[in-house]
Structure 1
Amino acid sequence: MYSPNRREFLKYSAAAGTALATGGLSSGASAQEVLKVGAVYVSPVAEIGWTKQHSLGVQAIRDEFGTNVDTTVIDNIFKPQDAERVFRELAADGNQLIFGTSFSHGTPMQKVAPRFPKVAFEHCSGIKHLKNLGTFEAKYYEGTYVAGAAAGHMSKTAKIGFIGGFPIPDIVGPANALLLGAQSVNPDTTCSVIFLNSWFDPGKEKEAANTLISQGCDVICSMTDTATGVQVAGEKGAWAIGYASDMSQFAPEHHLTAFMLDWSSVYVSAAKAVAAGTWQTSERWQGLADGVVAMAPYNSAIPADVQQKLSQVEADIAAGKLHPYAGEIKDQEGKVRVAAGQNMPDGEIRGFNWFVNGMVGNLG
């Protein structure tokens, strides 16, 4: 189906005015009805990355429903005031299911959802639920722990680098798990971190990667929406860890692995529920066991026995035998945050606002 870009959509939808939906959620679509689905992306759709994986989720809905679905996609929406307007206009235009794909979409969705009680809203990275607003998220930390273990085996300097978009729990937690995974192999490993305060800024990301490598980091992991960190690492001869998508094409000889995201099951199940009239607000937090998180193929330079160990780490996490945040865990100041023999509770993982011992950097 045709999907207008942001400028075209805002121009088109201005005519929709501020008409509001009333009543309860849709009772479902008949076999003859076309399900209308809207999705709002925080950055442009590239060939890889965060937004690309969400676009594959929308494509999975199209593949499942065929001509019985009409999708509208708006990309590069980050500012809350823009997002609120776009969500409102998508709802007013008759979309029965609307996806938001960034933490920054939270407040706008919380404002719009109550005004359109018949519309189902799904928020990725969300933390607040309403009667018609559900959330879904991935256990990124499971993937970064495995990737960190790979880094621990391959790093010669015992210094790894992490580039994050923003210092929010969804990024801070995985950064910590990356180091913990590396320390499970080499306890002396440290991780230097730089936050860009942007999801999409290749220039700043390149500068950050060069800075980390100049400080001796020989493994670079970025949680942003570009492959810049992978490219720079490859150019400088450092190892790279990709995020969201398999990024090996950008540094074939230096891409250790990637922790990939597959939202297809989330998107399709939500669409089916709305079409059947059975959708209910829910909180989904899924990882390796559910296929929402998966590891990209390991670099052939990693010894075969090490690859087997990494695959076993994956399997143990998926089976619940290994918890990435199993104590004892200390913070940067040496205070015990997770006692020996204990696992960090889910609520604390979702609200991570501190660095583990060995992290170099701060959350400011």
Structure 2
Amino acid sequence: MLKTTRRDFLKNGSALGAALGTGGLARIANAQEVLKVGVVYVSPVAEIGWTKQHSLGAAAIKEALGDKVELTIIDNIFMPQDAERVFRELASSGNKLIFGTSFSHGTPLQKVAPRFPNVAFEHCSGIVHLPNLGTFEAKYYEGTFVAGAAGGYMSKSGKIGFIGGFPIPDIVGPANALLLGAQSVNPAATCNAIFLNSWFDPGKEKEAANTLASQGCDVICSMTDTATGVQVAGENGAWSIGYASDMSKFASGKQLTAFTLDWTSDYVNPAKAVAAGNWKPEVRWDGLAAGVVKMAPYNDQIPADVKVKLKQLEADIGSGKVHPYGGELKDQDGNVKVPAGSVLSDADIRGMNWFVKGMIGKLA
């Protein structure tokens, strides 16, 4: 596996090779030919978090294909102009499959993909699809609903806290589901939400977690790319909920669970498809049933009978018996958004830009 730095790649990328020709996605010529795969991370790989989970997915390609694959990993690419150049150079240098791992990689991928029609592009968190650009995403809301239920069982104040990077649908939806999960146990539960307007700002995250604790929130979920939220929650004696990775080692024994992400299938299956010559752009959006979303071990302080209920809830969501956004659902102003007996449509979930009743905070 080749891992290079953002600086080195951007400096030397123009010399990496001639642009690939046009045409369909060709099959690997023979068993001896190596599949070249490029993966671009939005941040450096840390011990836990969003990029860590993507690194595990990329590593699974190597494990699955062995010497028949060559990986080029570029990290810390977050500026659109840098990302466009990186994607272009990866395609020009013979990579037949290229992954972008952040919503911010969307516009650069949409510009580069049409110029390399015989290269397969995969975009995590993407919303635009092209003949050679597929997308994949996780149903985070399924995990936050289960985690919220755990919080509802364990909270004494009935006040949940949520910290998000940005008020976008991918974050607003899981925040709503967190509260709805808590309300499935305690209908009077509320949730205070704070957005950092950053994916990585430990200072702001620490301040937000302390603020939530001072407001009486005794369960705090932080949907960012650091363990700061669970750490500060533990320091304040509050329960915490981890995101992307199991963050229990940072939580002073107070992590209830974490909704973790396993991208293995989203990396390995496209790599195998490109190698076999039958890759097609897909829209993949999976959760608990597919194992893309998984719940970390439940805290030993959660009563045994509650753990049984949480495990059953996982199974019921996976089977479709329980839908986190089942009606009746009202927004903050009391307007009915989902009538009783109905569920929110997939399109409305993916475009959610409103808070459910009981959420305290603003999206603007």
TM-score, normalized by the shorter chain, greater than 0.5:
yes
- The equivalent residue for 1:28 is 28
Name the CA distance, whole Å, in 1 between partners of 2:70 and 2:10. Answer: 18
Determine the structure 1 residue equivalent to 2:118.
118
Give the corresponding residue for 1:15: 15
Q: Is the 8 A contact 1:122 1:134 kept in 2?
A: yes
Partners of 1:187 and 1:268 lie apart in 2 by: 42
Aligned partners of 2:19 and 2:91 also within 8 Å: no
TM-score (norm 2): 0.98
Partner of 1:133: 133
**Offset at 1:201?**
1.1
Look up the equivalent residue of 1:320 and give its one-letter code. G
Partner of residue 143, structure 1: 143
| Per-residue deviation, 1:12 | 2.1
Offset, 1:20 = 5.0
User: Which digits, 9 at most, give the CA deviation of each residue in 1:235-288, with x for residues without a partner?
Assistant: 111001000111111114101000010000110000000001000011001000
Partners of 1:338 and 1:344 within 8 A in 2:
yes
Amino acid at match of 2:106: G
Given that residues 42 and 78 in structure 1 are in contact (C-alpha distance below 8 angstroms), is that contact kept between their aligned partners in structure 2? yes
- Residue 105 of structure 1 and its aligned partner are, at CA, apart by 0.8
- 2:79 matched to which residue of 1? 79
Shift of 1:67: 1.4
Of all paired residues, the percent bearing the same amino acid is 75
Greater alpha carbon shift after TM alignment, 324-333 vs 211-220: 211-220
Q: CA deviation at 1:11?
A: 1.8
Moved over 6 A (4+): none
- Tell me, in whole angstroms, the C-alpha distance in 2 between the residues paired with 1:194 and 1:78: 23
Asked if 1 retains the 8 angstrom alpha-carbon contact of 2:240 and 2:255, the reply is yes
How much does 1:3 deviate?
A: 1.1
Partner in structure 1 of residue 49 of structure 2: 49
Corresponding residue SS for 1:285: strand
Q: Is the 8 A contact 2:147 2:178 kept in 1?
A: yes
1:194 aligns with 2:194: yes
The code of the aligned residue for 1:127 comes to: I
Q: CA deviation at 1:198?
A: 1.1
8 Å Cα contact 2:45-2:75 kept in structure 1:
yes
1:290 matched residue in structure 2: 290
Cα-to-partner distance string for 1:24-63 (whole Å, 9 max, x where unaligned): 2223342101110011111111011110000000000011
Cα 1:227–1:21 change in 2 (3 A) is: farther
1:21 offset after TM fit, Å? 3.4
What secondary structure is seen at the aligned counterpart in 2 of 1:312? helix
Amino acid at match of 1:248: S
2-side partners of 1:125 and 1:60: how far apart? 20
Equivalent residues in 2 for 1:263-342 (5 A)? Answer: 263-342=263-342
Q: Does 1:2 align with 2:2?
A: yes
Q: Distance in 1 between matches of 2:24 and 2:230?
A: 47
- Contact map agreement 1:37 1:71 (CA 8 A) in 2: yes
CA distance in 2, matches of 1:76, 1:333: 40
Q: Report the 3-state secondary structure (helix = DSSP H, G, I; strand = E; otherwise coil) of the residue aligned with 1:289.
A: coil
The residue number in structure 2 matching 1:262 is: 262
1:173-197 alpha-carbon deviations (Å, 9 max, x no partner)? 0000000000001111111111111
Aligned residues: 364
CA 1:130–1:297: 2 relative to 1, 3 Å: same
Decide whether the 8 Å contact of 1:29 with 1:275 is kept in 2.
Answer: no
Contact 1:21 1:92 in 2 (8 A): no
Residues in 2 aligned to 1:76 and 1:193: alpha-carbon distance in whole angstroms: 28
The match for 2:348 is: 348
Whether contact under 8 Å (2:18, 2:93) holds in the other structure is no
Partner of 2:108: 108
The CA deviation at 1:19 is 3.1
**Root mean square deviation, CA, Å:** 1.1
Change (3 A) 1:347 1:305: same
Contact 1:29–1:276 (CA under 8 A) maintained in structure 2 = no
Relative to the length of structure 1, the TM-score reads 0.98
Structure 2: tracts of 5 or more residues without a match: none
Instruction: Determine the C-alpha separation between the residues in 2 that align with 1:15 and 1:354.
Output: 48
**8 Å Cα contact 1:146-1:181 kept in structure 2:** yes
**1:213-234 deviations in Å (ceiling 9; x for gaps):** 1111111101111101011011
Deviations 1:2-21 (A, max 9, x none): 21111111122122477353
Greater shift, 45-54 or 76-85, is seen at 76-85
1:98 partner SS: strand
Q: Which amino acid aligns with 1:261?
A: L
